[in-house]
Amino acid sequence: MQYQIEGTPLPVVICDLEAGESMITERGSMSWMSPNMQMQTQAGGIGKAFGRMFSGESLFQNRYTAQGGPGMIAFASSFPGSIKAVEIQPGNGLIVQKSGFLAAQEEVELSVFFQKKLGAGLFGGEGFIMQRLSGRGTAFIEIDGHAVEYELAAGQSMIVDTGYLAAMSESCTMEVVTVPGVKNMLFGGEGIFNTIVKGPGKILLQTMPVSEVAGVLRPYFPSAK
Protein backbone atom coordinates (compact mmCIF):
# COMPACT_ATOMS: atom_id res chain seq x y z
CA MET A 1 0.00 0.00 0.00
CA GLN A 2 1.07 3.52 -0.83
CA TYR A 3 -0.68 6.53 0.68
CA GLN A 4 -0.69 10.30 0.82
CA ILE A 5 -2.38 12.63 3.31
CA GLU A 6 -3.71 15.85 1.79
CA GLY A 7 -5.64 18.90 2.89
CA THR A 8 -5.98 21.06 5.96
CA PRO A 9 -7.83 21.60 8.23
CA LEU A 10 -10.06 18.78 6.91
CA PRO A 11 -7.54 16.20 5.68
CA VAL A 12 -8.02 13.04 3.67
CA VAL A 13 -5.77 10.00 3.29
CA ILE A 14 -5.71 8.53 -0.24
CA CYS A 15 -4.53 4.90 -0.37
CA ASP A 16 -3.30 3.08 -3.49
CA LEU A 17 -3.63 -0.69 -3.12
CA GLU A 18 -2.17 -3.59 -5.06
CA ALA A 19 -4.49 -6.21 -6.53
CA GLY A 20 -5.94 -8.34 -3.73
CA GLU A 21 -4.83 -5.93 -1.00
CA SER A 22 -7.47 -4.97 1.59
CA MET A 23 -8.18 -2.29 4.16
CA ILE A 24 -10.59 -2.16 7.08
CA THR A 25 -12.54 0.82 8.35
CA GLU A 26 -15.56 1.69 10.43
CA ARG A 27 -18.93 2.17 8.78
CA GLY A 28 -19.21 5.49 6.92
CA SER A 29 -15.49 6.32 6.81
CA MET A 30 -14.99 5.70 3.08
CA SER A 31 -15.12 8.95 1.07
CA TRP A 32 -14.40 7.85 -2.51
CA MET A 33 -12.83 4.88 -4.29
CA SER A 34 -12.10 3.32 -7.67
CA PRO A 35 -14.82 1.08 -9.20
CA ASN A 36 -12.87 -2.15 -8.62
CA MET A 37 -12.85 -1.79 -4.83
CA GLN A 38 -15.15 -4.45 -3.38
CA MET A 39 -16.79 -3.84 -0.01
CA GLN A 40 -17.64 -6.57 2.51
CA THR A 41 -19.28 -5.80 5.86
CA GLN A 42 -18.14 -8.04 8.70
CA ALA A 43 -18.35 -8.25 12.48
CA GLY A 44 -15.13 -10.22 13.01
CA GLY A 45 -16.51 -12.19 15.95
CA ILE A 46 -19.18 -11.29 18.49
CA GLY A 47 -16.69 -10.41 21.23
CA LYS A 48 -14.69 -8.04 19.03
CA ALA A 49 -17.86 -6.52 17.57
CA PHE A 50 -19.35 -5.64 20.96
CA GLY A 51 -15.94 -4.43 22.11
CA ARG A 52 -15.84 -1.95 19.24
CA MET A 53 -19.38 -0.82 20.03
CA PHE A 54 -18.52 -0.10 23.68
CA SER A 55 -15.41 1.81 22.63
CA GLY A 56 -17.52 4.21 20.57
CA GLU A 57 -17.18 2.55 17.19
CA SER A 58 -19.61 0.73 14.93
CA LEU A 59 -20.68 -2.85 15.67
CA PHE A 60 -19.47 -3.82 12.17
CA GLN A 61 -16.41 -3.11 10.06
CA ASN A 62 -16.13 -2.67 6.32
CA ARG A 63 -13.40 -4.49 4.42
CA TYR A 64 -12.40 -3.02 1.04
CA THR A 65 -10.41 -5.16 -1.42
CA ALA A 66 -8.87 -4.22 -4.77
CA GLN A 67 -10.26 -6.67 -7.34
CA GLY A 68 -8.62 -7.50 -10.69
CA GLY A 69 -5.86 -4.90 -10.43
CA PRO A 70 -4.62 -1.92 -8.42
CA GLY A 71 -7.29 0.10 -6.59
CA MET A 72 -7.67 3.43 -4.84
CA ILE A 73 -9.68 4.37 -1.75
CA ALA A 74 -9.86 7.58 0.31
CA PHE A 75 -10.84 8.21 3.93
CA ALA A 76 -11.61 11.77 5.04
CA SER A 77 -11.45 13.22 8.53
CA SER A 78 -14.78 13.86 10.28
CA PHE A 79 -13.55 16.91 12.24
CA PRO A 80 -11.06 19.72 11.61
CA GLY A 81 -7.64 18.43 12.54
CA SER A 82 -5.03 15.92 11.40
CA ILE A 83 -4.73 12.38 10.12
CA LYS A 84 -1.76 10.52 11.56
CA ALA A 85 -0.24 7.38 10.04
CA VAL A 86 1.08 4.96 12.67
CA GLU A 87 2.97 1.69 12.24
CA ILE A 88 1.60 -1.13 14.38
CA GLN A 89 3.95 -4.00 15.27
CA PRO A 90 3.44 -7.13 17.41
CA GLY A 91 4.07 -6.18 21.03
CA ASN A 92 4.00 -2.49 20.13
CA GLY A 93 0.33 -1.61 19.90
CA LEU A 94 -1.37 1.76 20.29
CA ILE A 95 -4.15 2.91 22.62
CA VAL A 96 -6.41 5.45 20.88
CA GLN A 97 -9.20 7.76 22.01
CA LYS A 98 -12.78 6.74 21.30
CA SER A 99 -13.73 7.24 17.65
CA GLY A 100 -10.08 7.96 16.79
CA PHE A 101 -9.63 5.00 14.44
CA LEU A 102 -10.09 5.89 10.77
CA ALA A 103 -8.75 2.98 8.68
CA ALA A 104 -5.94 0.41 8.53
CA GLN A 105 -4.44 -2.43 6.58
CA GLU A 106 -6.38 -5.63 7.23
CA GLU A 107 -3.60 -7.16 9.37
CA VAL A 108 -4.27 -4.52 12.05
CA GLU A 109 -6.75 -5.58 14.74
CA LEU A 110 -9.09 -3.18 16.51
CA SER A 111 -10.28 -4.14 19.99
CA VAL A 112 -11.55 -2.57 23.20
CA PHE A 113 -9.18 -1.31 25.90
CA PHE A 114 -10.40 -0.97 29.49
CA GLN A 115 -8.67 1.31 31.95
CA LYS A 116 -7.27 -0.72 34.84
CA LYS A 117 -8.03 1.94 37.43
CA LEU A 118 -11.62 2.99 38.10
CA GLY A 119 -10.62 6.62 38.62
CA ALA A 120 -9.16 6.82 35.13
CA GLY A 121 -12.38 5.39 33.77
CA LEU A 122 -14.79 7.68 35.55
CA PHE A 123 -12.90 10.94 35.20
CA GLY A 124 -10.33 10.55 32.43
CA GLY A 125 -10.78 12.69 29.36
CA GLU A 126 -11.49 9.72 27.10
CA GLY A 127 -13.58 7.75 29.58
CA PHE A 128 -13.35 4.20 30.86
CA ILE A 129 -13.09 2.58 27.44
CA MET A 130 -10.58 3.35 24.70
CA GLN A 131 -9.39 1.42 21.64
CA ARG A 132 -6.38 -0.85 21.13
CA LEU A 133 -4.72 -1.22 17.75
CA SER A 134 -2.60 -4.37 17.55
CA GLY A 135 -1.26 -6.81 14.96
CA ARG A 136 0.92 -5.56 12.12
CA GLY A 137 0.51 -2.85 9.49
CA THR A 138 -0.22 0.81 8.88
CA ALA A 139 -3.18 2.43 10.62
CA PHE A 140 -4.62 5.92 10.29
CA ILE A 141 -6.07 7.79 13.26
CA GLU A 142 -7.91 11.09 13.53
CA ILE A 143 -6.49 13.88 15.68
CA ASP A 144 -8.68 16.77 16.83
CA GLY A 145 -6.68 19.82 15.77
CA HIS A 146 -2.89 19.64 15.50
CA ALA A 147 -0.95 16.59 16.72
CA VAL A 148 2.00 17.01 19.10
CA GLU A 149 4.15 13.94 19.80
CA TYR A 150 6.35 13.19 22.80
CA GLU A 151 8.56 10.20 23.59
CA LEU A 152 8.51 9.46 27.32
CA ALA A 153 11.36 7.57 28.97
CA ALA A 154 10.71 4.95 31.64
CA GLY A 155 9.28 6.74 34.67
CA GLN A 156 8.92 10.06 32.82
CA SER A 157 5.43 11.54 32.93
CA MET A 158 3.25 14.24 31.39
CA ILE A 159 0.24 15.97 32.94
CA VAL A 160 -2.54 16.25 30.36
CA ASP A 161 -5.81 18.15 30.63
CA THR A 162 -9.06 16.33 29.97
CA GLY A 163 -9.54 15.31 26.35
CA TYR A 164 -6.12 16.28 25.04
CA LEU A 165 -4.69 12.75 25.03
CA ALA A 166 -5.29 11.34 21.55
CA ALA A 167 -3.17 8.18 21.71
CA MET A 168 -0.38 6.47 23.62
CA SER A 169 1.81 3.39 23.29
CA GLU A 170 0.35 0.40 25.08
CA SER A 171 3.51 0.39 27.22
CA CYS A 172 2.39 3.68 28.79
CA THR A 173 0.13 3.93 31.83
CA MET A 174 -2.34 6.62 32.80
CA GLU A 175 -3.76 7.80 36.09
CA VAL A 176 -6.34 10.46 36.91
CA VAL A 177 -5.58 12.82 39.80
CA THR A 178 -7.38 15.80 41.32
CA VAL A 179 -6.07 19.31 40.80
CA PRO A 180 -4.29 20.28 44.04
CA GLY A 181 -5.99 22.92 46.18
CA VAL A 182 -9.72 23.57 46.62
CA LYS A 183 -9.38 27.14 45.31
CA ASN A 184 -7.61 25.88 42.20
CA MET A 185 -10.35 23.31 41.57
CA LEU A 186 -13.24 25.74 42.06
CA PHE A 187 -11.90 28.93 40.51
CA GLY A 188 -8.94 27.94 38.34
CA GLY A 189 -11.09 27.23 35.29
CA GLU A 190 -9.06 24.12 34.44
CA GLY A 191 -11.48 21.52 35.79
CA ILE A 192 -11.14 19.21 38.77
CA PHE A 193 -9.10 16.37 37.27
CA ASN A 194 -5.93 15.92 35.27
CA THR A 195 -4.56 12.82 33.58
CA ILE A 196 -0.97 11.75 34.27
CA VAL A 197 0.53 9.61 31.50
CA LYS A 198 3.73 7.77 32.40
CA GLY A 199 6.29 6.19 30.10
CA PRO A 200 8.01 4.41 28.61
CA GLY A 201 6.40 5.03 25.27
CA LYS A 202 5.04 7.55 22.82
CA ILE A 203 2.10 9.87 23.43
CA LEU A 204 0.12 11.88 20.89
CA LEU A 205 -1.60 15.02 22.14
CA GLN A 206 -4.24 17.03 20.29
CA THR A 207 -4.81 20.77 20.39
CA MET A 208 -8.58 20.97 19.75
CA PRO A 209 -10.62 18.20 21.45
CA VAL A 210 -14.21 17.91 20.23
CA SER A 211 -15.43 18.21 23.82
CA GLU A 212 -13.66 21.56 24.26
CA VAL A 213 -15.10 22.91 21.00
CA ALA A 214 -18.59 21.83 22.05
CA GLY A 215 -18.19 23.61 25.38
CA VAL A 216 -17.11 26.85 23.70
CA LEU A 217 -19.99 26.79 21.20
CA ARG A 218 -22.73 25.69 23.62
CA PRO A 219 -23.62 29.23 24.82
CA TYR A 220 -24.26 30.32 21.24
CA PHE A 221 -26.94 27.70 20.53
CA PRO A 222 -30.53 28.22 21.68
CA SER A 223 -31.64 25.92 24.46
CA ALA A 224 -33.80 22.98 23.38
CA LYS A 225 -37.42 23.33 24.38
Structural domain spans, the chain = 2-218
Residue type at 170?
E
DSSP state for residue 212 in the 8-state scheme: H
Q: Global pTM?
A: 0.83
Q: Which range has the worst mean pLDDT, 27-41, 118-132, 195-209, 211-225?
A: 118-132
* Residues 136, 108 contacting (CB under 8 angstroms): yes
* Strand order across the beta sheet in which 71-76 lies: 2-6, 12-17, 71-76, 30-33
More confident residue, 57 or 213: 213
Highest average pLDDT, of 56-60, 129-133, 195-199, 202-206, comes from: 202-206
Q: What is the model's pLDDT at position 2?
A: 97
| Nearest-angstrom CA–CA distance, 64 and 69 | 13
- Mean pLDDT across 37-55: 66
Highest average pLDDT, of 31-40, 109-118, 168-177, comes from: 31-40
Q: What is the model's pLDDT at position 191?
A: 54
| Nearest-angstrom CA–CA distance, 188 and 186 | 6
More confident residue, 194 or 57: 194
Q: Name the helix (H) or strand (E) containing 63.
A: strand 61-66
Q: Which range has the worst mean pLDDT, 4-18, 75-89, 169-183?
A: 169-183
pLDDT of residue 112 exceeding 70, the answer is yes
CATH class of the 2-218 domain in this structure = alpha beta
- Mean pLDDT across 168-189: 69
| Nearest-angstrom CA–CA distance, 31 and 217 | 27
- Mean pLDDT across 7-16: 94
